[in-house]
C-alpha cells in the first residue's frame, strides 16, 4: 500500500498569494531550505534535508515560492524581489530564533538577500551552486538578438531546459532583477559562518560565481568547497552526503 505525504500547510501573504510549506519542530538553530529557479520543495535536496533534520531533531522548513510547486500564482508573474520577500515572510512567520539558511542555485541568491535583510536572525548560510545574478549571465546574455527582440515584443517567452519543462522567461523578471544584483557591490555585509559548495563541472552557473561571492562577504568565516566532477544540481548520493555533512559541521560548530 502506497503511503502519500500529508498535504502541505499554507502561509497566506498580504498580497493574496499562499505559499505551500512543510515544517517540522526541533532544536535551534532551525534550518530553512530555499529552492532553485522552477524547482520545488519535493526535490531530492529538500527532501533529503527534511529527513536528515527530522532524524537529528533539528527544526526544518521547506516551501514553494509563488508560481512554483503547489503555491499559488503564475510562474511568469514572479520576480526576484517577490520571491525574496516570500523568503523573508517564511523566516518571519514560520520560524523563531536563529536560522541556518540553505539555498540552492537561485535559492542561494535569495538566501544572501534574506541574510542582508535580517542579519540578526541568521545563524549561518550554506549555498549550493550559488546563482547570484543569474538572470543576467544565464538568461539575458545567452539570448541572441532575435530572441531578445522577441522577448521585448512578447514580454514572455519559453526556452528549452536541460532539466525538464521549458523555462518561462519574462522580461519583467530580467528587468526587476537588476535592482537585486549582488556581484556589482563592493562588499556583502554578512558576518556569520558561510559555506559555499559548487561543482566545477557546472554547465549553468560558473563555479567562479561562488568565488566572487566569497570575496565580497565581510565574514572571515567563509569556505568554498569545490567538487571537481560536480554538476549544477549536486544531487548525486556523494553530493547529498557532502551537503548533510557540511550542514552538520556548521550546526555542531556553534
Reduced to 3 DSSP states, what percent helix, strand and coil does the chain have, rounded to the nearest 5?
40, 25, 35
Burial class (CB in 10 A: 0-12, 13-18, 19+), 66: buried
Q: DSSP alpha helices (H): ranges in 118-169?
A: 134, 145-154
In contact, 83 and 107? CB cutoff 8 Å: no
Mark residue 52 as left, alpha or beta (left: phi above 0; alpha: psi -120 to 50; beta: remaining).
alpha
Reading the block at residue 188, the C-alpha cell is 556583502
- Of 114, 94, 95, the closest CA to residue 103 belongs to 114
Residues 6+ apart with CB under 8 A from 209: 130, 131, 132, 133, 183, 198
- Can you tell me the distance from the alpha carbon of 228 to that of 70, in angstroms, rounded to the nearest whole number? 35
In Å, how far are 29, 140, 228 from 148, measured between CA atoms?
44, 8, 34
Active site residues: 105, 202, 232
Q: Per this entry, what is the length of the chain?
A: 254
Amino acid at each position: 500500500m502506497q503511503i502519500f505525504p500529508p498535504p502541505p500547510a499554507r502561509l497566506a501573504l498580504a498580497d493574496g498569494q499562499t505559499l505551500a510549506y512543510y515544517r517540522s519542530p526541533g532544536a535551534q538553530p532551525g534550518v530553512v531550505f530555499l529552492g532553485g529557479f522552477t524547482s520545488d520543495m519535493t526535490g531530492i535536496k529538500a527532501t533529503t534535508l527534511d529527513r536528515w533534520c527530522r532524524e537529528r531533531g533539528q527544526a526544518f522548513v521547506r516551501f514553494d515560492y509563488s508560481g512554483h510547486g503547489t503555491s499559488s500564482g503564475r510562474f511568469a508573474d514572479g520576480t526576484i524581489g517577490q520571491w525574496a520577500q516570500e523568503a523573508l515572510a517564511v523566516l518571519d512567520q514560520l520560524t523563531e530564533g536563529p536560522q541556518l539558511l540553505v539555498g540552492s542555485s537561485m535559492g542561494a541568491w535569495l538566501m544572501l538577500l534574506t541574510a542582508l535583510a535580517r542579519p540578526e536572525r541568521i545563524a549561518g548560510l550554506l549555498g549550493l551552486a550559488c546563482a547570484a545574478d543569474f538572470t543576467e549571465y544565464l538568461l539575458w546574455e545567452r539570448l541572441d538578438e532575435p530572441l531578445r527582440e522577441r522577448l521585448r515584443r512578447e514580454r514572455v517567452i519559453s526556452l528549452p531546459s536541460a532539466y525538464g519543462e521549458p523555462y518561462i522567461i519574462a522580461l519583467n523578471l530580467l528587468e526587476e532583477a537588476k535592482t537585486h544584483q549582488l556581484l556589482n557591490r563592493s562588499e556583502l555585509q554578512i558576518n556569520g559562518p558561510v559555506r559555499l559548495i559548487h561543482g566545477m563541472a557546472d554547465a549553468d552557473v560558473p563555479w567562479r560565481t561562488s568565488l566572487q561571492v566569497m570575496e565580497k562577504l565581510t565574514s572571515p568565516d567563509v569556505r568554498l568547497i569545490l567538487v571537481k566532477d560536480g554538476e549544477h544540481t549536486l544531487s548525486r548520493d556523494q553530493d547529498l552526503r557532502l551537503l548533510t555533512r557540511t550542514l552538520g559541521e556548521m550546526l555542531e560548530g556553534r
